[in-house]
Amino acid sequence: MNGPHDLGGQMGFGPVAPETDEPFFHADWEKRALGITLCAGAMGHWNIDESRHARESLHPAVYYGSSYYEIWTRAVETLLKRHGFVTDAELAAGAALEAGTPPRRVLKAADVPAMLARGGPCDRPVAAAPRFSAGQRVRTRNMHPTGHTRLPRYVRGKTGTVEAVHGGFVLPDTNAHGHGENPERLYTVVFTGPELWGDAADPTLTVSVDAWESYLEPA
Amino acid sequence: MSGQGHDHHDHHHHDNHLDPMDARVRALETILTRKGLVDPAAIDAIVETYETKVGPRNGAAVVAKAWADPAYADWLKRDATAAIAELGFTGRQGEHMQAVFNTPDTHNLVVCTLCSCYPWSVLGLPPVWYKSPPYRSRAVIDPHGVLAEFGLVLDPQTKVRVWDSTAELRYLVIPIRPAGSEGWNEERLAGLVTRDSMIGTGLATAPEAA
């Protein structure tokens, strides 16, 4: 979707503000928000793509007005409601009022180290030969799906060069919506500054994205 | 309630009780705990992991080894996931790693314009600026300007390669080894490797400044 999250090349947000000796968390609630997000995800009822899509589906005014842990919190509430674990009434009351969906799994403290060390690999075998090869010129599709995608707007319809051909990876565009993993090959595609930003672009600049095969066509 | 780390019900002086997010997250945790969906001790364990165990010291060890050991650097170039796992760093948001090496001609910079993708297994949790719109919007169009805001002014001729982490590959920048660190062991070398140098918003620290 052409959502508020798709920030590449947008203007008006001001300078970057690096913090000296930035703490891990700026408030205790951020710690709990991180933990809740990971624990809720570990129940196994949604995947990382659905989770990302819940974040980018926040209203733009909310998205831009929120810190990142606030974005996470709002998104995990959406996911918990969508999958029947909590209701709006419960969130409003701050109390459990009814039984919800039974969880597939509940993450216990003793299992946290193994869960984090294992992660969630997204590579999958793909039988078909790669459609594109390293060095080949490709064009990104000019597509504007209303659902989840990982092709940023600033690289759509642009011509670049395949730099690396990777193996198969879960396709976020379908996986985010419960339509299956549909693994496709992934390519690192590099674009020049002028291709992306026109004649006034920084001449020293190149930018790459990692693009699934269906995002690309021969140039 | 369990665990001394389960401190959000305590009244620490730095808690901001006017913050609506504090109340909102407390309510959510209460509901999920009562329903048996979330174990507060598991939250404590996750937080403790990223406060004390998984952070930029992991990535610094990788960089230091790559500086000290050309065979390791070569492995890191070819198969970063395996080479990094060899040092014991695996897992969440580091499942598929790529190491990108700075050279005198080319400076690498990592961003996630679409969200906050970051190599947790080697750098820990991302800083706020990495997740915020100013960095995510400008890194891909004005990298020299962004770097200047970190106090890093590159030679205008230096090529900048920006890696937008749009998929599940996670990028670790291998900064240039500073002059004057010849003969240093890996432990000393690791002390020169800052978090920002592994994102590309900084350089490794010069030995005289370390």
* pLDDT one-digit tens code per residue, A53-109: 999 999 999 999 999 999 999 999 999 999 999 999 999 999 999 999 999 999 999
Q: Which residue of A has its CA nearest to B167?
A: A210
Per the domain annotation, does B29 fall within a domain?
A: yes
State the Cα–Cα distance between residues B164 and B114, nearest whole angstrom: 9
Per the domain annotation, does B26 fall within a domain?
A: yes
Active-site positions of B read: 112, 115-117
pLDDT tens string B147-188: 999 999 999 899 999 999 999 999 999 999 999 999 999 999
Mutate to test the interface with B, among A199, A202, A204, A213 (most CBs of B within 10 A): A204
The answer to whether the complex's ipTM is over 0.95 is yes
CATH code at B90?
3.90.330.10
- Residue environment code for A53-75, b if the CB has 16+ CB neighbours within 10 A, otherwise e: bbbbbbeeeebeebbbbbbbbbb
The encoded tokens of residue B94 equal 């580091």
Mutate to test the interface with A, among B39, B54, B163, B168 (most CBs of A within 10 A): B168
Selecting from B8, B43, B137 the residue whose C-beta is nearest the C-beta of A11 gives: B137
Q: Which residue has the higher pLDDT, B11 or B30?
A: B30
Q: Are residues B90 and B118 in the same domain?
A: yes
Per the domain annotation, does B147 fall within a domain?
A: yes
Shortest distance between the Cα of B188 and any Cα of chain A, in A, equals: 21
Q: Are residues B43 and B87 in the same domain?
A: no
Angle at A54 between CA A108 and CA A175, to 5 degrees: 80
Per the domain annotation, does B5 fall within a domain?
A: no
Q: Are residues B121 and B201 in the same domain?
A: yes
Q: Are residues B45 and B145 in the same domain?
A: no
Per the domain annotation, does B1 fall within a domain?
A: no
Confidence of residue B18 (pLDDT cuts 50, 70, 90): low
Per the domain annotation, does B100 fall within a domain?
A: yes
Per the domain annotation, does B6 fall within a domain?
A: no
Contact B26 A94 (CB under 8 A): yes
Selecting from B24, B158, B164 the residue whose C-beta is nearest the C-beta of A152 gives: B164
**CA distance to A79, A172, B88, B137, per residue, from B97 (Å):** 28, 18, 13, 24
Q: Are residues B128 and B191 in the same domain?
A: yes
pLDDT the model gives residue B4:
40
Q: Are residues B26 and B109 in the same domain?
A: no
Residue B143, phi then psi, degrees to nearest 5? -65, -40
Q: Are residues B172 and B79 in the same domain?
A: yes
Q: Are residues B130 and B148 in the same domain?
A: yes
The answer to whether the beta carbons of residues B29 and B95 sit under 8 Å apart is no
Contact A152 B113 (CB under 8 A): yes
Confidence of residue B210 (pLDDT cuts 50, 70, 90): confident
Confidence of residue A153 (pLDDT cuts 50, 70, 90): very high
Q: Are residues B111 and B98 in the same domain?
A: yes
- Break chain A down into helix, strand, coil percent, rounded to 5: 35, 15, 50
Is residue A19 over pLDDT 50? yes
* Residue B76: its H or E element: helix B70-78
Q: Are residues B97 and B153 in the same domain?
A: yes
**Strand B97-101 versus strand B159-164 pairing type:** unpaired
Number of domains present in the structure of chain B: 2
Q: Are residues B112 and B157 in the same domain?
A: yes
List chain B residues with CB under 8 Å of A169.
96, 167-168
Tell me the one-letter amino acid at B117. Answer: C
Angle at B140 between CA B193 and CA A177, to 5 degrees: 100
Confidence of residue B209 (pLDDT cuts 50, 70, 90): confident
Q: Which residue of B has its CA nearest to A12?
A: B134
Q: What domains does chain A contain, in order, with CATH numbers?
A: 28-118 (1.10.472.20), 123-218 (2.30.30.50)
Global pTM reads 0.95
pLDDT tens string B130-142: 999 999 999 999 9
List chain B residues with CB under 8 Å of A107.
38-39, 42
Mean pLDDT of A180-207: 97
State the Cα–Cα distance between residues B137 and A16, nearest whole angstrom: 10
Q: Are residues B64 and B131 in the same domain?
A: yes
Q: Which residue of B has its CA nearest to A202?
A: B142
Mutate to test the interface with B, among A19, A66, A116 (most CBs of B within 10 A): A116
Shortest distance between the Cα of A6 and any Cα of chain B, in A, equals: 5
Domain of B29 in residue numbering reads as 16-52
Per the domain annotation, does B142 fall within a domain?
A: yes
